[in-house]
Structure 1
């Protein structure tokens, strides 16, 4: 059962106002013993109506009691006699009629205004829920920004380190507009890439960088090339030697050996 949707349906307000059927009443009383959220909502609604009734209560006229008592005959009998209270709504006694109409009008006003208060209460609860959701989303974005900032700080430290060299790799006939940079530090053995322009790949493929040593390829790590990641990417491989760098297209996660048919770019490392 979705308790939130059940509370938002408005049936609890009708229950508190006494505007539900016997079956609905029994259902609500049963559910309130099972779900604390429903009982809490009923308590809050009852308290709101009670506060409103106390705030807008109207005392009857002071002379009303004496008029009613004057209409009740008191007889000396051994047993009490229960008689209906004489209420004359005829034209010669208009005061009682006006009083009862006024009381009914006040009751109707209280009923309508109670629904207004309950509606405002529901709107405020929905606004609080929306603010909580927005706050959680903002906290998530801040956390992602902190992670991104940490990665950028590490990359910037690599680029500033003495011994870091930059190599430009341009695409061949398979990627004529391809252009990227490789940052490699021969002392720390760290590698990073910055993609300027490379063709977009399917979700199950990635670009893979290779270091060529003695004509043999060494895995230098995988990377993506898309508009959502335009900043330099630090690779998770340690490269201590390199005579050249090359780029191929491989399955996502990388391959132990390069697929030469997908070779897109290569650049020599000057001694």
Structure 2
């Protein structure tokens, strides 16, 4: 029985329930566990209190409007997903109508079927991308609201003194994000690029947009004793970091 409770507490169902992100079946399971097991009820109450206390203590440190931006993006992504489902149905109906029109238009129907296949494949690709984006937004929301999340302020070295960033690391959920709020201007032929060294492997996290969304969170690969870097590279990015051009170190 204790193992059953431990497995439940190690999952993220309590956090999802607090955020209103559980299905009907999951909500019933959470409510049943809270009612039946004192350990679960105690953890649930503590999590509620910790979330409220954490939000009050750190409200000023979180970038202004970030949570609202994330929630709006989630709603927009869901609306977009429903539009793509309707578009897929419409494309399929159109293909059936034209395919059965006439033998004399067989060649035209063949072209239409190819087009429909391309459209369907494109829709599937977009749906997969949207799933990934929704999962990323959900993880961001969890990290910003979870009491186990740690924040690390990051400043640039003498090559980029005005660089400002905040790393959010949650060792329980094994999630890491960074918000680069300010980057000094660079010449047009240079850019900032982010890297992470996790378990001995160097990961290229891509170019940081100098004039992009200041409230945007970038995902960092999670790992114990992970290290991140921000470097100055030629415009378009580099395949490996230019060590002498490291402008910020991120130990998370």
> How does the TM-score come out when normalised to structure 1?
0.36
Higher helix share: 2
Higher relative contact order (CA 8 A, sep 6+): 2
> How does the TM-score come out when normalised to structure 2?
0.39
